[in-house]
Chain A
C-alpha cells in the first residue's frame, strides 16, 4: 500500500488494527499448537492420550492424590489412568471424562465423590476454564465451557488471542516457559500425585471451629453434571463404580449434611444400576498416619487403600 494512503487517519487506523489482529491471530495459532505440548499440566497430559485403558479414575484432588496407580494396576490386573484433577467439581470432571472418552476406550470408570463435592459453601471449586481453552475445537469442551461461561465462549473462540491474554498467568506463555525450563509434571505415569506429608492437625481444628457455623448449600448444578457422567457411561456401555473417598473419621462429626449427600449419591448410583462403595468404617479411616489432611490420603494411606478399592471394584464388576 502506498505510504501516502496511510496519511488518511481512517485508513491508517484500519491498517494498524488489522496488523495487530493478524499478529494476535498468528500468536494464538502458535500457542494453540504449543500449549498442548506442555505435559507438565495435567489437563494437557489427559487430552494427549489416545488408547485403551481398563480402568479410568475420575474425581477431584482426593482421586488425584489418593489413587496409587501402580498398586491398583497390579491388584486389578489391568491398565489404569487417573483423570483426577486438583480442585475440580463435577462439571469439569464431566468435561474431561467426556473429552477423554472421545479418543480413548475405557473398560471401567471409577468415580470418586466426597461429602463436600455438592456443597457450594464448603469449597468454591472454581471452574478452570482456562486450562481447557486450547481445546475448544472439542465439541464437549466447547459445550461445557458455554454452559458454565455463556457468551464469553464466542469471545474466546473468535477474538484473536483473547483467551491467552485474559489468562496469561495461567496458559500460553507460561506453558512455553515450562517447556523451555524443562519442568517435570508433579504426577506419575498413572496421573497420580501421591503426597508424603504428615497429617495437618491445624486443618482439623479449623474445621472443628467452623463446624457449628457451617451451612450446607446444595449445588443442583454439580449434581446434574454428576448424573451426566453416569449417563455418558451408560450411553457408551461402560460400567461405573462410584466410591466415597475415605476421610479421617473425626471429620465426620463436622460434616452435618454428609448423610444427605451420601444418600443422594447412593440412590442416584443405584438408580443407574451401578455400584456405590464407602469406607467410613474401615480401620484405614481411624489412623491419621494415612492422611495428609482430613479428607486426603497420603502416600501410605493410598497404598493401604488400593487393595481395598481393588477388591471392591473387582467384586462390583463380577471379576473377583
Chain B
C-alpha cells in the first residue's frame, strides 16, 4: 500500500479511529493486524518472511538472556545468519550469481547455478536492520529481551515505518509501543502537518522532478552536459523529497497514534562537508552503521590508515545495503573517498583558507562549503541514478564537457523545447519553481529557531492560512495520476 494512494487515505483514518476506540491492553493486536494488512496489500506471501524474522529474533533474544557468554555469541550468530541469509537470498543472490557467472564466462568455464525467480520483498532491508539492532542490543546487554511476542512483532512490523524506515532502535520504539496513549488533539495536528509536508515533498516536488530525471536520463549518451547537469540536480531534489517525504508521512502517521519516530533528515543539502551531510541524510541508517559497524571496527580511536579503511568499508557496506548493483558500490565508495580525502586534506584546506583570508569571512566560507558539498553529493548521485556504471561515466564526461548550454537557454524562451528537452510543460515549470520556493521556506523555518517560535506563536488564522496554501499547492500541483512508488521501497 502506498502512502500516496486512495487506499491509504481510507486505511489510515480507520486504523486511527479503531486504535483509540480499542481498550489499551488490546491496541497492539489491532495495530499488528493493521500492519500485517498494510504489508500484505503488496504481497501476502512475503509476510511470512517478517513472521520468521520476528519469531527467530524473539526466541533468540529470550534464550540469550539466560545463556552463558559462548552460547550468547552462538545465538547472535544464529540471528545474524537467519536475517542476513534471508536478505541475501532475496536481495543479493541473483546479483552474486550473475557476477560469478560473468567471471566464469570470462575464463570460458561452465557455471550452471540458476537465478532465483523471486521478487525483492519490499522493505526487507529496513525491517532486517531493525530486528538486528534489537538482537545486538540484547547481546550487548543494552536492553532486556522483550517478553511480549505481540509487542515485539509490532516493533518489527509497525506499518508507518515498515517499508522504508526510519529504522528504529528497540530502546526507543519498544517502550513506546507498551505505553497506552490517549488521544491528543495537539499530536493529531502536529502529525497531520508533518504528513502534509511529506505529501508536498513527494507529490509536488519529487514526482515532478522524476519526470525531468526520467526524461534526461533516458539516453544520456546523446544528451548535452548542461541538460544532464540540470537532470542530476533534479534527481538530487527528487530523491531527497521522495525519501524525506516518506519519512515525514511515516513520522506524522506514528505521531497521530502517540508514537515518536526518529528524525531521518535535517536539511542535508545545507551540509558544509560530507561528514555533516551524513549526519543530516538518512540519519536512522547512518547512526545504525555508526553504532553497529563503525564503532565495533574501532571507530575513530584507531590508527589513521585503519580509520580510512574502516570508513571505506562502512560506506561499501552501506552502498550494498542500498542495492545489489555495482553502481551502488561506486556511489558508496565515492562517499567513502570523500570522507578519507576530506580527512587527509583538512589541515591543508584550513591553511589555504587562512592564506586567502577566507577564515575572516565565515559566511562566504559556509556558502562555499555548502556549494562544494552539494556538488560532490550530486556527482555521486549520478552513479546512484544511472542505469549502469558505463552510463554514469558517460554522464560525468558529458557534464564536464558542458555542451548544450544553448539548448537550456532555448528552453527558457520556447516552451515546446522545454517539453522536448526536459519532458516538462510550462505548467510543470511553474509548479517546480513554486514548489522549490516553498520547500526552501520550510527549510528556513526548520533551521531558524527564532522563526520557528514566531511561526508557532502566530495567530491561528495565519497558521491556518499557511496550511490551506499548502493544501492548495498539493491539490493543484501534486501528481495524482499513476502514483509513483517511493524510491527507497526498492531497497
Contacts and interface: CB of A to CB of B under 8 A. Distances in A.
A51 interface: no
Contacts of A164: 475-476
Interface string A148-170: 00000000000001001111110
Chain B CB within 10 A, most for which of A3, A172, A177: A177
A168 B476 contact: yes
A283 interface: no
Contacts of B188: 9
Contacts of A19: 464, 468
B481 A173 contact: no
B299 interface: no
Interface string A1-33: 001001001001000100110011001000000
Q: How extensive is the interface on chain A, given as a class?
A: 20 to 34
Interface in B434-463: 460
B472 A27 contact: yes
Nearest to B183: A9
Contacts of A124: none
A1 to B, nearest CB: 11
Contact of A177 (B427, B468, B475): B427
Contacts of B427: 169, 173-174, 177
A124 to B, nearest CB: 14
A318 interface: no
Contacts of A183: 415
B475 A165 contact: yes
B471 interface: yes
A166 B480 CA distance: 6
9 contacts: A3-B460, A16-B464, A16-B467, A20-B471, A23-B468, A27-B476, A167-B481, A169-B428, A181-B415
Interface in A161-208: 161, 164-169, 172-174, 177-178, 181, 183
Interface string B400-427: 0000000000000001000000000111
A128 B426 CA distance: 21
A73 to B, nearest CB: 29
Nearest to A168: B476
B26 interface: no
Contacts of B475: 24, 161, 164-165, 168
A24 B473 CA distance: 11
Contact of B425 (A24, A161, A174): A174
A182 to B, nearest CB: 10
Contact of A173 (B468, B477, B480): B477
Interface string B173-211: 000000000000100100000000000000000000000
Contacts of A169: 425, 427-428, 479, 481
Contacts, number: 52
A173 B476 contact: yes
Interface of A: 3, 6, 9, 12, 16, 19-20, 23-24, 27, 161, 164-169, 172-174, 177-178, 181, 183
Interface residues of B, number: 21
A233 B120 CA distance: 56
B430 interface: yes
A24 B477 CA distance: 14
Contacts of B428: 169
A214 B363 CA distance: 66
A145 B425 CA distance: 27
Contacts of B471: 20
A19 B468 CA distance: 9
Nearest to A9: B185
A233 to B, nearest CB: 35
B128 to A, nearest CB: 37
Given A16-B464, A177-B426, A177-B427, A23 B481 contact: no
A168 B479 CA distance: 7
B478 interface: yes
Contacts of B480: 165-168
Given A20-B471, A174-B425, 19 more contacts: A3-B460, A6-B460, A9-B185, A9-B188, A12-B185, A23-B468, A23-B472, A27-B476, A165-B476, A167-B480, A167-B481, A169-B425, A169-B481, A172-B476, A177-B427, A177-B430, A178-B426, A181-B426, A183-B415
Interface string B65-103: 000000000000000000000000000000000000000
A29 to B, nearest CB: 15
Contacts of B476: 27, 164-165, 168, 172-173
Given A166-B480, A168-B478, A169-B427, A20 B468 contact: yes
B169 to A, nearest CB: 32
A23 B467 CA distance: 12
Contacts of A20: 468, 471
Interface in B116-171: none
Contacts of A165: 475-476, 478, 480
Contacts of A3: 460
A27 to B, nearest CB: 7
A180 B472 CA distance: 20
Contacts of B481: 166-167, 169
Contacts of B468: 19-20, 23
A319 B430 CA distance: 54
A20 B464 CA distance: 10
A24 B474 CA distance: 12
Nearest to B431: A173
Nearest to A174: B427
Interface string B205-238: 0000000000000000000000000000000000
A104 to B, nearest CB: 31
A20 B196 CA distance: 14
Nearest to A176: B427
